[in-house]
Amino acid sequence: MIDDEVPNSTVRLLVFEAIRSYPSDALLLMLDDEDTIVRMAVARELQVRGEKKAFDHALLRCDDLRDFVREIAAFTLGQFGTPTYPFRSESIPKLAELAVHDPSFEVRATAVASLGHLHAEESMQVLLESANDPEADVRAMAAVSLGRLGPLPEVVETLDKLLSDPDSEVREWAQLGVELTEDDDLVAYFDRKGGLHDCVIESLVWQPMQRRVEIRIEDINANSLGLPEYVGLVPCVIEISGINDFTLDISNADDRLRVYEASVSAVAEKKVLKIAFSPSGSLEASFAVLTLSELDESGPGAQAAVGDR
């Protein structure tokens, strides 16, 4: 099973730190490790490195006889080479095959989620069929993956049905899918920026009396650093106000707080910002107003400002 919890334990911290120093050939041998934490850490590191030999290895593992190996292989393909996904066209047919035919519901759910990460419009029919899967986990992943395709008539109709699903988790994911179809400015922005992956937090200030948080990020484009699409260093400030619920866990974090993934969503009519830090820690806040301002030498908002009220 995929280790989808936010990495916040000492064990995860040590594993994530150690994995970074391993050569890729050694990591490939560890992708089918029996320890969930190890293989998840390996998969995430391989996704970031985006090497062809790692892609070929993951693709081959999709046909492994062991369920957990096919599952981690499907997960790896879904975000491989982020944010450009250079092997997207080669990944989608195999993921679609797993989503429809794999006997393990965990593999099917992971393959469906990966199709969503790849915005696989060409596999929309597969996602629509997965919305009727007998397993709730698969239907839940179909809901959010369909949402990533936008407000197409078939998508909207299917999400509307899933909002009435007998399983509460499926209904929650369907609500997120609906949010994604509305192409909210912030949701779209975070998606374009690769979930702020690898962005370094310069400062994080929580003002409980004012129910406000200010997060300063060193470079909002860090996710594409070293790639042709990198447009240069752009600091930014995220200001969140009207906070109702706020949790922050950075007890095992590094001296430099780095984002693993950030997202904005609507859950039970609440707007929620979630940030998973790498290799450990998390932030979650339900809010009334969130404003993200890119900065340049002229000051806040000189390049762009994205907000949600």
pLDDT for residue 185: 67
Q: Is the pLDDT of residue 3 over 90?
A: no
In sequence order, the 6+-apart residues with CB closer than 8 A to the CB of 267 are 172, 175, 176, 286
Q: Is the pLDDT of residue 58 over 90?
A: yes
Choose the weakest-confidence range: 92-96, 252-256, 287-291.
252-256
Q: Is the pLDDT of residue 24 over 50?
A: yes
Higher pLDDT, residue 140 or 183: 140
Higher pLDDT, residue 89 or 82: 89
- How much is the average pLDDT of 219-231? 81
pLDDT for residue 184: 56
Report the share of the chain in percent with pLDDT over 90.
50
pLDDT tens, position by position, 59-69 = 999 999 999 99
Answer yes or no: are the C-beta atoms of 284 and 272 closer than 8 Å. yes
H-assigned helices in the chain:
10-19, 24-30, 36-49, 52-61, 67-78, 88-101, 105-117, 124-130, 136-147, 153-162, 168-181, 185-192
Q: Is the pLDDT of residue 82 over 50?
A: yes
HSE at residue 124, side-chain half, CA atoms within 13 A, is 14
Q: Assign 267 a pLDDT band (cuts: 50, 70, 90).
A: low
Answer yes or no: are the C-beta atoms of 287 and 245 closer than 8 Å. no
Q: Is the pLDDT of residue 309 over 50?
A: no
Domain borders along the chain are 10-130, 187-308
Q: Measure the CA–CA gap between 176 and 147, rounded to whole angstroms.
A: 7
pLDDT tens, position by position, 284-302 = 999 888 888 887 544 433 3
- How much is the average pLDDT of 241-254? 83
pLDDT for residue 170: 97
Choose the weakest-confidence range: 25-39, 63-77, 221-235, 272-286.
221-235
14 burial via Cβ count (<10 Å: 0-12, 13-18, 19+): middle
Q: Considering the entire predicted model, what is its pTM? A: 0.66
Report the share of the chain in percent with pLDDT over 70.
88
pLDDT for residue 306: 47
10-130 classified as CATH 1.25.10.10: yes
pLDDT averaged over the chain? 86
pLDDT tens, position by position, 123-179 = 999 999 999 999 999 999 999 999 988 888 999 999 999 999 999 999 999 998 887
Higher pLDDT, residue 266 or 259: 259
pLDDT for residue 87: 94
